[in-house]
Amino acid sequence: MTVPAHPPDSGRDRINRAAGMLQALPAIVVFMLAFAVLYAGTYIQLAHTVWSTDEQGHGPLILAASAWLLWTKRDEIFDGHPQPAPWLGFSLIGSALAMFVVGRSQSVIEIEAFSQILVLAGGLVLLQGKRGLKLAWFPLAFLLFVVPLPGSLVQAITMPLKSAVSVVAEEILHQFGYPIARTGVTLVIGQYQLLVADACSGLNSLFTLEALGLLYMNLMAYKSRARNIALAIMIVPISFISNITRVIVLVLITYYYGDEAGQGFAHDFAGMVLFMVALVLTYGFDRLLARFVDDEGGARGRR
């Protein structure tokens, strides 16, 4: 039997990757220090505004996940001889800095936060070239979920979602014989009135669950594009169903145990129920897709 001179994961390969990382380390340190100085104010502002709300409090988790994904790909990114692309790199960084200045001067945090993605992409192109950017595309694209949703978009989507959630929750509870009525987005059950808040509309969970779904697909490394698209699209109705479940749980807790119970620990518990339901439904749909997409009956399809 012929043995390859250098297996894919040989000691020499690991040494070469480590050498490539060490060679680029000074430039990486300088770039990251400059990045930290530039965006420290942005992150402080995000921490004191949108990240402190229930609607978009997922930002730090997305940021940590993106950093972890980049770290796990460090050997691939810095493996081989670097081929910097100065024109592309400086173009990306120049565009990003222009966006940063506009966002900071006009207090548009969405533009300011988005510019960091282009800065990181430009820095990677300057360090390793287009190949490095291609390898790191998902962690960088995942940072889009850190960018706050525009207020006008949130207002336009939230109200229809709240109305839909209220209508479906009322109908389900009515079918089970509960004394429930609805006025707009206010549910009346027994002696209690419950306003379906913006956090229960589904927009927040949709954004978060879509991010988690994309992360799940990236970690599973599915080969089937159809499977990935179907799973990403299915997260939308899954989010809607999960939010209906959350509202129904809160209504029932309030009905049986009073308004104080519904607004206390139970409110946070209902949020946990939302993500548990979403997780079960997402995994169940993924397993259903596996029966039709996987060639080998395993977790990773090939078609």
Please give the positions annotated as active site.
200, 246
H-only helix segments in 129-150: 130-135, 137-142
Asked whether the beta carbons of 169 and 248 are under 8 A apart, the reply is yes
For 99, half-sphere exposure in the C-beta direction (CA atoms, 13 angstrom radius) is 19
| Helical (H) or strand (E) element with 253 | helix 225-257
Beta bridge partners of 189: 180, 192
Task: Compute CA 63 distance to the chain's CA centroid, rounded to the nearest angstrom.
Answer: 9
The count of other CB atoms within 10 Å of the CB of residue 214 is 19
Q: How crowded is residue 134: how many other Cβ atoms within 10 Å of its Cβ?
A: 11
- Distance of alpha carbon 92 from alpha carbon 122, whole angstroms: 5
CB 295, CB 303: distance < 8 Å: yes
